[in-house]
Chain A
Amino acid sequence: MSPTRVPVVDGWFTAEGGEFRLLGTCCRDCGAVYFPREDAFCRAPGCSGTELAEVPLSRRGRVWSYTDGRYRPPAPYPSGPERTWRPYTLIAVELAAERMVVLGQGAPGVALADLAIGMEVEVVPGVLAEEDGRTLTTWHWRPVPEEGPAPDGRPAPGEAS
């Protein structure tokens, strides 16, 4: 039996409609966008908005900065001492339309040498860890293949959706 797949946090991303996207919320009054999502109140000072609609964030952005973790982070990171420890990259990505920076782990195999500030990356589904018989799913950033998808963000021909 394959383990149950559960998102590491509910409501932060979706693959509905076949396209993986981060999910934020947008204030109906002032248009401010939030990730992680705000669902009760808009945080913009001077805005009294209380209706926030779920919105997918841009699939692509540009690397704002990046680093890696060479030492096992402490709990609650799902990597107890009984597990094999694999260093990972962390990539901060600037989304142009939202004018915000979103942090995420790099997809497996993305090394520091593959990255540069300003490089275009896209969000892809990923697995954070196996924990208590469950597969924790998350989002990853990975460089956009050079001769891959069209610049408008549509999947390239043949790219698995």
Chain B
Amino acid sequence: MTGEVAVLGAGMHPWGKWGRGFVEYGTKAARAALADAGLEWSAIQSVVGANTVRCGYPGQVAGATFAKALGWQGARVTSVYAACASGARAIDTARAQILSGMADTVLVVGSDAAPKGFFAPAGGERPDDPDWLRFRVLGATNPAYFALWARRRMALYGDTAEDFARVKVKNAAAGAANPYARYRSPVTAEEVAASPVVADPLRLLDICATSDGAAALVLGSVETARRLGMARPVRIRAVSSVSPTHPRTALDLPDIATDSAPPGSPVPDPFRPSIARAAYEEAGLGPEDLSLAEVYDLSTALELEWYEDLGLCAPGEGAKLLREGATAPGGRIPVNPSGGLASFGEAVPAQAIAQVCELTWQLRGQAGERQVPGARAGITVNQGLFGHGSSVVAVR
């Protein structure tokens, strides 16, 4: 087990399409997290920014960008990028600094201003970039990959379009109660079924939107939390940062093909389940100990995959778990009580940090209408392009 770090403060800028810059959103989230921690900005010893590739150079040096926006005060700055897992890696970096004694108080910030429509690769003629190639050669958007996986589930496990719609209905109901969510209206199964097909079998309301939004955390040592008078702070007990093992035989974005497995060799362990497994091992707990989970529902069908990859049920039983109501508010293990990406839309570098903000508020009992009663332990999980995956376990 690695040592624990304390969540001193959490803050967000609401998700939406606000038409302003990512620095403004991130600064608002950072100020909110500092206020929640009861700390002056000058007390922060290190800033870790989760990068956005969309927002030019400032987006790619996010740590420095937010340190400047908050007012240069000499703190250490670090910027990290891991695609959709960037926020979790920023948390991991902050944790390493705290546990190694490099810093006692670290501000973690992720923020994005996303364009309308499909995410697209960086411009130019770049045939050595797999992400550029999949758009160039195949027009394979992110939803196309989500749809390939969704259809596999339908064929292998008998999942139906109605099951996928049920995920959206559940998450939209939760998001309606979250002031930080972008979409705050309940959605019916009929509305999902009436939305246009984007990549068959997935419809517009099965796929998460792209949003503006920002989230921030102030992390510190457990001793620092005590010094600040926090008797029972939320503690981050594990942050897994795993990469796949070769050969990778599951088709994943942005790849055009999988690795080739040698003849007769056993099928290697799939990547996604290893993300949560590493977190459970590090935290010394298992799925049966969880009060809630925040999973990366880039699509409705993918949320069902995560149920299985988190060990909440056996492979193939995700839809059954959903139909039983186990993952709904009041169920055995509520999943995405925040409303998930279905209600937020993805603000890439902010999203994994927002997941931990939700855990923090749930574990403190501050989640209002969406509170999971008596929440004691929660997990987040996300996966980013190019072999990034992270899972955070927090307890109180």
Contacts and interface: CB of A to CB of B under 8 A. Distances in A.
A94 B136 CA distance: 22
B313 to A, nearest CB: 22
Contact of B141 (A30, A69, A78, A92): A69
Interface in A104-123: 104-105, 112, 117
A159 to B, nearest CB: 26
B132 interface: yes
Contacts of B97: none
Given A69-B144, A69-B199, A70-B198, A103 B249 contact: no
B231 interface: no
A53 to B, nearest CB: 14
Contacts of B202: 67
Contacts of B56: none
Contacts, number: 133
A138 to B, nearest CB: 6
B99 interface: no
A68 B121 contact: no
Nearest to A66: B151
Contacts of B249: 99-101
Given A73-B139, A75-B135, A99-B263, A36 B257 contact: yes
A90 B144 contact: yes
Interface string A54-69: 0000000000111111
Contacts of A99: 249, 260-263
Interface in B111-163: 117-118, 120-121, 123, 125, 127, 130, 132-141, 144, 147-149, 151-152, 155
A157 interface: no
Interface in A26-44: 30-36, 43-44
Given A99-B249, A112-B200, A36 B148 contact: no
How big is chain A's contact interface, by range?
A: 35 or more
Enumerate the 5 nearest inter-chain pairs by beta-carbon distance, A residue then B residue, closest first: A74-B120, A67-B147, A73-B139, A99-B261, A33-B260
Given A77-B136, A101-B257, A65 B148 contact: yes
Contacts of B251: 64-65, 92, 101, 103
Contacts of B140: 69, 73, 90, 103
Contacts of A90: 138-140, 144, 148, 199
Given A76-B136, A101-B257, A9 B199 contact: no
A45 interface: yes
Interface string B172-210: 000000000000000000000000111111100000000
A68 B118 CA distance: 15
A21 to B, nearest CB: 14
Interface of A: 8-9, 24, 30-36, 43-45, 64-71, 73-79, 88, 90, 92, 97-105, 112, 117, 128, 138
B73 interface: no
A25 to B, nearest CB: 10
Contact of A105 (B138, B141, B200): B138
Given A64-B251, A71-B198, A92-B148, A77 B135 contact: yes
A70 B262 contact: no
A109 B225 CA distance: 64
Contact of A8 (B130, B137, B196, B260): B137
A24 B121 CA distance: 24
A65 B202 CA distance: 13
Nearest to B156: A117
B260 A67 contact: no
Contact of B118 (A9, A73, A88, A128): A73
Instruction: Output the residue of A30, A67, A88 with the most chain B CB within 10 A.
Output: A67
B281 interface: no
Contacts of A34: 259-260
